[in-house]
Amino acid sequence: HGAPFRHNAMLPPPVRALLAALVTKWRPVLSLAAGALAFTVTDKVSSTERDSRSPVVAQRRRARRLKRRARALNAGSKGARGTKKSKSYALGVIVAVYDDGVFAGKPLAIVHGKPAFARAYEAAKKSTALDRVVVVTDDYRISEVARQFNAEVVMITEEMNGEGRGSASRAAACAARATGGGWDAVCAVGADEPMIETEVIDACIMELENNGDEWCVMSTALAAMDEEEIARDSRPKCVFDVNGFALYFSGSLIPARMDERKQTLDANGVSVRESVGNYWHQLGVTVYDADYLRMLQASDPTPLQRQENLEMLNTLENGYKIKVVTVDYVAPKICVPEDIPRVEAVLAKRIEEKRTVKNATLRRRGSMRGSASALASLTDSPKKEKSAPVRTIDLATDADGEYSASENHTASERD
Q: What is the pLDDT of residue 118?
A: 93
The residue among 77 and 296 whose pLDDT is bigger is 296
Beta bridge partners of 288: 186, 218
Across 51-65, 73-87, 184-198, 256-270, least confident range:
73-87
The residue among 393 and 199 whose pLDDT is bigger is 199
Contact 88, 127 (CB under 8 A): no
Cα(352)–Cα(346) distance, integer angstroms? 10
Cα(72)–Cα(86) distance, integer angstroms? 8
Does residue 86 have a pLDDT over 80? no
3 in helix, strand or coil? helix
Cα(250)–Cα(223) distance, integer angstroms? 15
Nearest to 369 by CA among 348, 385, 392: 392
Does residue 85 have a pLDDT over 50? no
**pLDDT, tens digit (0-9, with 9 covering 90-100), for 144-172:** 999 999 999 999 875 554 444 447 898 99
**Mean pLDDT, rounded, of the chain:** 75
Mean pLDDT on 301-309:
92
**pLDDT, tens digit (0-9, with 9 covering 90-100), for 279-292:** 899 999 999 999 99
**pLDDT, tens digit (0-9, with 9 covering 90-100), for 188-221:** 999 988 889 899 999 999 999 888 678 899 999 9
Percent of the chain with pLDDT over 90: 30
Mean pLDDT on 340-359:
85
Q: What is the pLDDT of residue 36?
A: 78
The residue among 157 and 45 whose pLDDT is bigger is 157
Cα(187)–Cα(208) distance, integer angstroms? 11
**Structure confidence at residue 322 as a pLDDT band (50, 70, 90):** very high
Provide φ and ψ at 325, rounded to 5°.
-120, 115
The residue among 111 and 277 whose pLDDT is bigger is 111
